[in-house]
Amino acid sequence: MDKLCVTGNGPLRGAVRVSGAKNAALPILCSSLLVKAPVTFTNVPQLNDTRTIVRLLNQMGVTAARTETHRIEIDASTLAKPVAEYDLVKTMRASVLVLGPLVARWGEARVSLPGGCAIGQRPVDQHLKGLEAMGAEVTLDGGYINARAPGGRLKGARIVMDMVTVTGTENIMMAATLADGVTVIENAAREPEVVDLANCLIAMGANIKGAGTDSITITGVEDLHTATYRVMPDRIEAGTFACAVAAVGGEITLLDAPVASMEAILDKLRDAGCSISINGTSITIARKGPLKAVSVKTAPYPAFPTDMQAQLMAMNVVAEGTAVMTENIFENRMMHVSELSRLGANIEVTGNTAVVQGVASLKGANVMATDLRASASLVIAGLCASGTTMIDRIYHLDRGYEHIEDKLIGLGATIERIST
Ligand code: UD1
């Protein structure tokens, strides 16, 4: 199991290119199941999660391969078995994103239930409720979801989501593209990755209006067609580097950044004392003076994302003052707190709220990554700490960050991957 050895080494400097967005790439790769022709996606990050989706598609008989570093070509006309097996789904919850496209295109699907995960229970009831509203017969048996569209085609419906769910909105939006009639998703997720998926589906011939608002209208069409689509850049990866330079100090430029989708993150960094300048798709973040603690409450887009809570906490740990951080999306997303404390952080958690009292310095220690974004927070804290921080279980990090150590080394950090 690989480990990362991070040695605190002063300010970060230089430029780093932002990779394609994991959370946009995953549904976009799954959207290929809606098309009986080859499709091409570019700017697809090389991550364990994108590899998992390709393997999942291959298991179904779909031809899917990475033809260049960031280019994946998929031909789902060879789909033989609309089944997503437990062995892959259990490694990545987002595998459930094949459900909507499979039922829409194949008339039926059998997809393993993803189960809970470290950060919370994460049920998929809203995905199933949406498909049922569109006429699907859904049963659960032996840990699998079985869904079938009577007559082979889903029907348009008005669906009011009980809560804002990103993959739930994406699953239903994809299913609705080939349904008979009009589907309206109310209380839809407004995340930029939902908009990116909608733009991809539109490029394939889908009729979608309102993506990016809380009401999305999809008018079903008979068929979607071949397309080439470029995945948007990753606002969470970009935000992670931004928090790193805020915490450690220095000046970095993020190239090819999704500027418009990063307002909530950049606002917090400004409040923390960073200077931020934007030039087209480049963002330069500098922190030369003192760092101030910033309080935050996570909430669906356009508010501050839960996927940035751990990284902002790592920054607050070394800031002046006290930050109150409230996690409103997942019930167990504070696992990084005990690991950050091993480095000397002063954090008290009550329920879903952490009170972070900034400390003057951190000291390297052995820590364990517990989930994807928690791992990123440990890297940031390790960069701030004196001495060496050894981060175990970094397979979490490899699920969602492309070459993170190489990118940080390019900014002057001292990081080594240790393969055992
Ligand atoms: C997506 C992102 C993840 C991010 C999260 C919230 C992907 C691949 N993953 O996850 O990185 O942290 O959005 O921005 O895009 N819920 C239900 N029933 C459902 C669906 C969701 O109760 O059927 C609850 C969840 O348990 C959670 C909340 O709704 O408390 C939001 O979850 P959701 O937006 O669905 O997260 P994901 O789409 O799984």
Tens-digit pLDDT profile for residues 155-165: 999 999 999 99
pTM of this prediction?
0.97
Cis peptide before 302 (omega within 30 of 0): yes
Question: What confidence score (pLDDT) does residue 202 get?
Answer: 98
Atom of ligand 1 nearest to the CA of 189: 34
Indicate the pLDDT class of residue 14, thresholds 50, 70 and 90.
very high
Q: Residue 298, Cβ neighbours under 10 Å: how many?
A: 21
pLDDT in tens, 285-299: 999 899 999 999 999
pLDDT at residue 117 tops 70: no
Predicted pLDDT at 182: 98
The alpha carbon of 320 and the centre of ligand 1 are apart by a number of angstroms equal to: 33
Residue 13 pLDDT greater than 90, yes or no: yes
Joined together, the tokens standing for residue 129 give 């409720």
399 lines ligand 1 (CB under 6 A): no
Ligand 1 center–CA 102 separation, angstroms: 20
Report how far ligand 1's centroid is from the alpha carbon of 104 (Å).
22
CA atoms lying within 13 Å on the CB side of residue 89: 20
Distance of CA 133 to the CA centre of its chain: 27
Mean pLDDT in residue range 228-246: 98
Ligand 1, residues 165, 234, 304: which to mutate, most atoms within 8 A of Cβ? 165
pLDDT band for 116, please (50, 70, 90 cuts).
Answer: low
**CB of 301 sitting under 6 A from ligand 1:** no
Give the distance (Å) from ligand 1 centre to CA of residue 216: 18
The stretch 35-53 carries a mean pLDDT of: 96
Q: Is the CB of 159 under 6 A from ligand 1?
A: no
Residue having the nearest C-alpha atom to atom 34 of ligand 1: 165
What pLDDT does residue 200 have?
Answer: 98
The span from the CA of 191 to the CA of 16, in Å, is 24
200 is catalytic: no
Residue 115 pLDDT level (bands cut at 50, 70, 90): low
CB of residue 95 inside a 6 A radius of ligand 1: no
Q: Read off the tokens for 247.
A: 């915490």
Q: Which of 111-115, 136-140, 172-176 has the lowest mean pLDDT?
A: 111-115
| % of the chain beyond a pLDDT of 70 | 99
